[in-house]
Amino acid sequence: MKKEIVAMLLAGGQGSRLYVLTTNVAKPAVPFGGKYRIIDFPLSNCVNSDIDTVGVLTQYQPLELNEYIGSGQPWDLDRLHGGVHILPPYMHGKGGQWYKGTANAIYQNIRFIDNYGPEYVLILSGDHIYKMDYADMLRRHKKSGSDCTIAVYEVSLQEASRFGILNTNPDDTVYEFEEKPAQPKSTLASMGIYIFNWGKLRKYLTEDEADPKSSNDFGKNIIPAMLKAGEKLSVCRFNGYWKDVGTIESLWDANMDMLSASNQMDLHDPAWRIYARNPVAPPHYMGAGAVISHSLVTEGCEVEGEVLNSVLFNDVTVAEGASVKYSILMPGAVVESGAVIEYAILAENARVGAGARVGADPKDAPDPAEWGIAVVASDVVIEAGRVIGPNTMVAD
């Protein structure tokens, strides 16, 4: 049985700018938004767009991600034909190798895609928070008769030099791709989401692999090669919420965005649910003296203290007299009595002892230039009374 489209999700990135948060997990497995992992967003988008065949390419620290995805049941991707498949690099007759680049990762899995005989392949990454209807993008791809359609997001001219920028004709076809241009000619940034006609992509992947000088990357090699050969490439504009969560700052920012009512990222929308592997925990409880305001709170939490402008994942404890402001508390984090957490991220099962302080309000920072989000890595215990300043990372 053929599939019209197969999605390939690049989930092998280390996410090195998330530092201690990705010591033991790949970036797509980083918790986000009180209940999710980053990868839940592209996976849920696939399912909500009626794409039922997804390859997840893993390489860096895959264990937790493998376990998280499992059979794919939470996303309805446990299918008899298709469904979700974890695709690590593997050995074969001629030796085998690590994924050298994004294009090489797909190249090494040509046989996986061929199995389903698709007409189109959707390339995704596990780095962004967004809701997008890929089915709509596919409709536009077919209508335009392009060989490749690239989802683009309008950024400001100043930001444009941080992105891969697409320069387009009035009919939205692409004539040039520039990676992080110093003088951008356009503000259309590539979102790293591509739909290719599989036959075409297969050909370019094979040619690219034969070129020893290539860095085997979609943005650097495949797209320029296709443009050079005169293939038809189009852009598909996206104007919803889209955020990269590749740094501590942007991860914290994006979590805070989930608290704002006007963020276009309504997590409560039943028509476009974000699916996740649900923890098994009772409803959360807040005590008689608790204060919770402008926050997201998940099952299993016990709040006796104060929680303001924060995101609490499952099974978080905030004891009496403790205060949590503008912070992200990942699953199982514990804040003991009298402790103060401000502008901080506590990773899974981190514990902050009684009276300790983590992070600081930018207003109170001794040197505003040095201010930043404080991070406590998973399973780390901050002893009672200890003070962890802003812009500090505690890994052990």
Residue closer to other proteins by CB (options 3, 351) is 351
Q: Is 73 in the site for other proteins (CB under 8 A)?
A: yes
Q: Which stretch binds other proteins (CB under 8 A): 54-62, 161-169, 223-231, 290-298?
A: 290-298
Q: Is 234 in the site for other proteins (CB under 8 A)?
A: no
Asked if 241 contacts 131 with a C-beta cutoff of 8 angstroms, the reply is yes
Asked if 124 contacts 8 with a C-beta cutoff of 8 angstroms, the reply is yes
Residue type, 168: T
Q: Is 273 in the site for other proteins (CB under 8 A)?
A: yes
Q: What CA–CA distances, in Å, run from 142 to 82, 101, 135, 265?
A: 22, 28, 11, 27
Q: Considering the complex, what minimum distance in angstroms separates the CB of residue 292 from other proteins? A: 5
**231 in helix, strand or coil?**
coil
Residue closer to other proteins by CB (options 91, 280) is 280
**Pairwise CA distance, residues 243 & 321, whole Å:** 34
List 16, 23, 206, 293, residue binding other proteins (CB under 8 A):
293
List 70, 199, 206, 285, residue binding other proteins (CB under 8 A):
285
Residue closer to other proteins by CB (options 234, 295) is 295
Residue closer to other proteins by CB (options 2, 268) is 268
Q: Is 34 in the site for other proteins (CB under 8 A)?
A: yes
Alpha carbon dihedral 263, 266, 267, 272, in 10-degree steps, equals: -130
Q: Which stretch binds other proteins (CB under 8 A): 159-167, 225-233, 268-276, 381-389?
A: 268-276
Q: Considering the complex, what minimum distance in angstroms separates the CB of residue 41 from other proteins? A: 13
**Pairwise CA distance, residues 151 & 195, whole Å:** 9
**DSSP-assigned beta bridge partners for residue 357:** 340, 387
Residue 217: Cβ within 10 Å count: 18
Alpha carbon dihedral 184, 188, 189, 191, in 10-degree steps, equals: -170
Q: Which stretch binds other proteins (CB under 8 A): 228-236, 280-288, 355-363, 375-383?
A: 280-288
Asked if 120 contacts 141 with a C-beta cutoff of 8 angstroms, the reply is yes
**Pairwise CA distance, residues 5 & 19, whole Å:** 35
Residue closer to other proteins by CB (options 241, 275) is 275
**109 in helix, strand or coil?**
coil
Residue closer to other proteins by CB (options 11, 311) is 311
Residue 136: Cβ within 10 Å count: 12
Q: Is 98 in the site for other proteins (CB under 8 A)?
A: no
Of 192, 181, 189, 244, the C-alpha closest to 15 is: 244
List 299, 365, 386, 389, residue binding other proteins (CB under 8 A):
299
Q: Is 292 in the site for other proteins (CB under 8 A)?
A: yes
List 199, 289, 362, 368, residue binding other proteins (CB under 8 A):
289
Q: Is 80 in the site for other proteins (CB under 8 A)?
A: no
List 68, 112, 272, 275, residue binding other proteins (CB under 8 A):
275
Q: Is 311 in the site for other proteins (CB under 8 A)?
A: yes
Q: How many Å is the maximal CA-CA distance in the chain?
A: 68
**158 in helix, strand or coil?**
coil
Read off φ and ψ for residue 198, nearest 5 degrees: -60, -40
Q: Is 384 in the site for other proteins (CB under 8 A)?
A: no
List 259, 354, 384, 393, residue binding other proteins (CB under 8 A):
259
Residue type, 344: A
Residue closer to other proteins by CB (options 166, 328) is 328
Q: Is 283 in the site for other proteins (CB under 8 A)?
A: yes
Q: Point out which residues bind other proteins (CB under 8 A).
A: 33-35, 73-74, 259, 261, 267-268, 273-276, 278, 280-299, 311-312
